[in-house]
Structure 1
């Protein structure tokens, strides 16, 4: 039922069903990598994603972000956005309206779900919803995770499916967890989706006959997901707490535990002895970091010498899936989602689990461990083939950096609670300044903090001031260096031990030029072939069109003069957009007018573009309608 060798990429499971396009997506994550969010819109298209160098093709990214960033809203734990390894990525500007930082209502709790709800439209078919329940954050973690994908059709009915109320309630709760609220348009969108999702007929995956949604930590939802009959349980969790393990071990007999080696070594022997079998992931299956990745998935921005500093790494490799499997008579029960086997997960955190029920023969503990057989047969491609047994030794290991990690958390929380904001003003020489203001945080004396917009290199970071007034000020900035995302890097020194930590906060930004995204786009376009290719991408109706094979990566052509070759396919794309989706022409007109209005870019427009564009645009105006009429 669960094949550990069936591995999927997030972009694959975001891909719309055939004949459908994305209408809107709401995602939740504990930690967030901005590059992962930036590339997510590629999942809603079939644009060529990579150039010859293996890095994402900037023009495909630009068009996918331009088309879909306004249709994606991501809710993440405040203070858990990663610092990008590469500074100066201008496309992050497009993401500022998509990120919403959550501060949970309960002290000491965290926002930890990894659930997505996606709404897809079709010209002919009904509205389709997809629900993703993941154990993976929206980051580039190189770890073993679990993903549940459910598709369903919006039914034409007045009464809701009672089983979907927990999912609808979860969606409805999200705006209330954002301290400064969400824009009215997003609130309306969430209101619509939480209402509709209650009327979607989700079908359980093949082999299961029942499923139950469990949002944890919202409103008065304190239900116990592990009620009803349990004869035996398998716990798979990367992080553990002793009291929660005691609770699981008391459910039935012959409990099995699978976790990370370093997590198991921190648990007392008495708690571990309650489990009949204990395993950890074999070393050969721990995916090592690939040096070819063009961005570090974690806190790689902090450039320190490792023999003198420890780096707070929140994206360990290895096991990251959270799965609970139980035998209950002839029935098998599986819970999957975000909740670790810790007290925090079940006593305060915001989490999401889904329970699936089916025949024990196909989804019981032995079926999961042994690849579909109740007998222990290691010839099957089951989970057991990835595991080594864990031997219980003496007392638990002690994390010597625990006190420094606690101080790093205090720094993070103090900065979050300072209500920081950024204001942009013009310098006298066509440059900009950004001043950061807010309450002066009380920082531990063992800590020093530097900060910068993520568009600036590390050497331009300045020390964060606790003096009332301007806490930090950045001068002489280019327009493409303005950002609402600010990196904070702290250094903790305690008793000759040192720890470096870093994170990003999205701050309220005022005074910035209203045309920042247009400025970014103009700066990225270098020649006529790029502009023509962007036009073809922009006019592509579903991300699948490749007129004449011309939508290829930068520097790759099909022979001859690329720009002149593209004029006939460009005209054909215009005709097709005029007939099927005039919004594409509205977007193209905006691009043409913007490029034409600036001396640095007016000469980048393809030669004789007006000969084909002007009659198309006149026809578009005769049809009427507004580019914002549809969402």
Structure 2
């Protein structure tokens, strides 16, 4: 139950990333850069990276080739501090929403990573790493859960194993349609690779697994009947959010209701947040063998690392549906009607044999008063009722950012750019609407309510991006302004935008040589640290490592040519991005020599 170190869970020591698909509800830009650095084996993000962003540039370069990340529409949080690389996020980050009319409030909510990776020691050894968790890709410190599993690639498989993995493949194919053409092709290649994937290795006591992707209410695993398989005679629900009203107006009970109606005299435990509870929920758990636990004040209010509950887990023992074992579910779905019937979610179902004390062991992770993590409650504390006004946010989701309502076009005027943002409608939003480039939030312009057009002027090429900062200033001054980052399909972004970002940062021969060595060294984190130190000493671009640069580069290129010649293509791609004056002739000659040698060997 330790706090998750996200990047350590996702990146595998001793392995090199080939391609990865990630999903999250909300996204922090700096957290994404941290993941990119981890996959590139370049260490952790530091404050110095925002002054000398060469490591971030290399991490994002690799991410734009090897990572597709999907988040909820408007899930990217507006960055707190600027970075010249945020414009390039539109190559790796893609929004997902339910485009059906009336479904605008459904959330894309799964938290998984499907990672294809290759061993650094044995390049013939490849594997798929699956990470299923409850944590978003943010800097949140809440209590979360994660499970990691690996399965070998390029092995003989069976029809049953392919059936077991089909729901995961179906989800990836759905996501592929939300990506750009390059990532779409790579995701489909990943899906094809899953046909040669062996069984995921499980730690004891777990014996088997099933995947339950739910895509906007549609169960993608026909083998699982959620209302039948999730309920248990002994049942423990860990969910930060639960429906306030147990019985819905249409007569359909929410998960808290039907999970408790199964074998009502048996033991049921609910672990949730105190502010999710209502008298109705409390009454359901008022009978014998029912308990409610919430995060303790010690956990929530300590000065070292306060945390709230964010994990989603379900423990169920149901002899009638699974007579020989126990189901343990974890993932993203809250015990709410929207969690199982409206949102996109992902749950991993693990099965384990019946054993003495299984329920008690699981329960003790939370419900041990000695740990001071949770405390049992039997009544609700008195609190002042305060209702936040979400009407404007709801109107934004329904009437402004839904179903391709927004579009943008770039117009070039004498080397500077104007972006024209158009909306088909914006009714029901009681406030002023402004847009700004994600790179320049102060350069905001108002959406004209009559023409439904907004013009952003004076934007440089390296600031152009499909991500924008949307702000609504309510007419009611008691309501705080609402800010969100939103991706808008934008026509006319120059194809060489990324090249200009590279040129703005790698603008001397010495920076180029250092950058290339960081790309190909077998100790990228160590070398990146040296680059940062030299930059802090203001020696970047002034013959840094001049005495041995030629020898070390030659040795690195020789090793790469022998072990991973594809990396030479990445170096050539970098050379083509940059101004010709920063690439030394001696490097071009050396690179050409290696390319000719590789062609002869092939």
Q: Give me the TM-score of the superposition, normalised by structure 2.
A: 0.84
Gaps of 5+ in 1: 292-315
Q: Deviations over 1:333-374 (max 9, x none)?
A: 3110010011111112211111112245588331023259xx
Q: Deviations over 1:72-121 (max 9, x none)?
A: 1112221222111124x221222212122212255253221112211123
The alpha-carbon distance between structure 1 residues 213 and 591, as it changes in their structure 2 partners (threshold 3 A), is closer
Following TM superposition, by how much is the alpha carbon of 1:512 offset from its aligned partner in structure 2, in angstroms? Answer: 2.0
Mapping for residues 245-260 of structure 1, pairs under 5 Å: 245-252=256-263, 253-260=266-273
What residue is the counterpart of 1:101 in the other structure? 95
- Alpha-carbon distance in 2 for matches of 1:47, 1:56: 17
Q: Deviations over 1:235-287 (max 9, x none)?
A: 11111113232222223423111111222258654245357221211233238
Secondary structure of 1:73's match?
strand
Q: Deviations over 1:509-537 (max 9, x none)?
A: 22222211121122224666543321211
> Please, which of 364, 380, 395 is the counterpart of residue 358 of structure 2?
364
The answer to whether the 8 Å contact 1:533/1:550 transfers is no
- Alpha-carbon distance in 2 for matches of 1:516, 1:564: 31
Following TM superposition, by how much is the alpha carbon of 1:585 offset from its aligned partner in structure 2, in angstroms? Answer: 3.3
Q: Deviations over 1:415-467 (max 9, x none)?
A: 11353222112223x211111124132133x2222211111133x22222232
The answer to whether the 8 Å contact 1:38/1:92 transfers is no
> Please, which of 16, 24, 27 is the counterpart of residue 12 of structure 2?
16
What residue is the counterpart of 2:173 in the other structure? 172
Secondary structure of 2:69's match?
strand
The answer to whether the 8 Å contact 2:213/2:220 transfers is no
Paired residues, number = 569
The answer to whether the 8 Å contact 1:426/1:433 transfers is yes
- Alpha-carbon distance in 1 for matches of 2:394, 2:303: 26
**Greater displacement, 62-71 / 266-275:** 266-275
Secondary structure of 1:416's match?
coil
The answer to whether the 8 Å contact 1:47/1:543 transfers is yes
The alpha-carbon distance between structure 1 residues 349 and 288, as it changes in their structure 2 partners (threshold 3 A), is farther
> Please, which of 20, 34, 38 is the counterpart of residue 43 of structure 1?
38
Secondary structure of 1:286's match?
helix
- Alpha-carbon distance in 2 for matches of 1:485, 1:596: 27
What residue is the counterpart of 1:301 in the other structure? none
- Alpha-carbon distance in 2 for matches of 1:175, 1:591: 27
2:544 corresponds to 1:562: yes
- Alpha-carbon distance in 2 for matches of 1:363, 1:133: 25
Following TM superposition, by how much is the alpha carbon of 1:377 offset from its aligned partner in structure 2, in angstroms? Answer: 6.8
> Please, which of 92, 115, 120 is the counterpart of residue 117 of structure 2?
120
Mapping for residues 363-442 of structure 1, pairs under 5 Å: 364-371=358-365, 385-393=372-380, 398-401=385-388, 404-417=389-402, 419-428=405-414, 430-442=415-427
- Alpha-carbon distance in 2 for matches of 1:85, 1:413: 26
The answer to whether the 8 Å contact 1:370/1:377 transfers is yes
Mapping for residues 543-562 of structure 1, pairs under 5 Å: 543=524, 546=527, 550=530, 553-555=533-535, 562=544
**Greater displacement, 248-257 / 128-137:** 248-257
The answer to whether the 8 Å contact 1:334/1:363 transfers is no
The alpha-carbon distance between structure 1 residues 369 and 344, as it changes in their structure 2 partners (threshold 3 A), is same
> Please, which of 331, 336, 339 is the counterpart of residue 337 of structure 1?
331
The alpha-carbon distance between structure 1 residues 616 and 345, as it changes in their structure 2 partners (threshold 3 A), is closer
The answer to whether the 8 Å contact 2:313/2:331 transfers is yes
What residue is the counterpart of 2:252 in the other structure? none
Cα RMSD (Å) of the superposition?
3.5
Following TM superposition, by how much is the alpha carbon of 1:318 offset from its aligned partner in structure 2, in angstroms? Answer: 1.3
What residue is the counterpart of 1:188 in the other structure? 185
2:424 corresponds to 1:448: no
Secondary structure of 2:391's match?
helix
Q: Structure 1 segments of 4 or more deviating over 6 A? A: 54-57, 287-291, 394-397
The answer to whether the 8 Å contact 1:408/1:490 transfers is no
Following TM superposition, by how much is the alpha carbon of 1:563 offset from its aligned partner in structure 2, in angstroms? Answer: 2.8
- Alpha-carbon distance in 2 for matches of 1:21, 1:267: 51
- Alpha-carbon distance in 2 for matches of 1:33, 1:213: 27
The alpha-carbon distance between structure 1 residues 39 and 249, as it changes in their structure 2 partners (threshold 3 A), is same
2:602 corresponds to 1:619: no
The alpha-carbon distance between structure 1 residues 50 and 43, as it changes in their structure 2 partners (threshold 3 A), is closer
What residue is the counterpart of 1:531 in the other structure? 512
> Please, which of 63, 70, 78 is the counterpart of residue 75 of structure 1?
70
Following TM superposition, by how much is the alpha carbon of 1:151 offset from its aligned partner in structure 2, in angstroms? Answer: 0.4
The alpha-carbon distance between structure 1 residues 553 and 338, as it changes in their structure 2 partners (threshold 3 A), is farther
The answer to whether the 8 Å contact 1:50/1:56 transfers is no
Q: Give me the TM-score of the superposition, normalised by structure 1.
A: 0.81
Secondary structure of 1:564's match?
coil
- Alpha-carbon distance in 2 for matches of 1:203, 1:361: 21
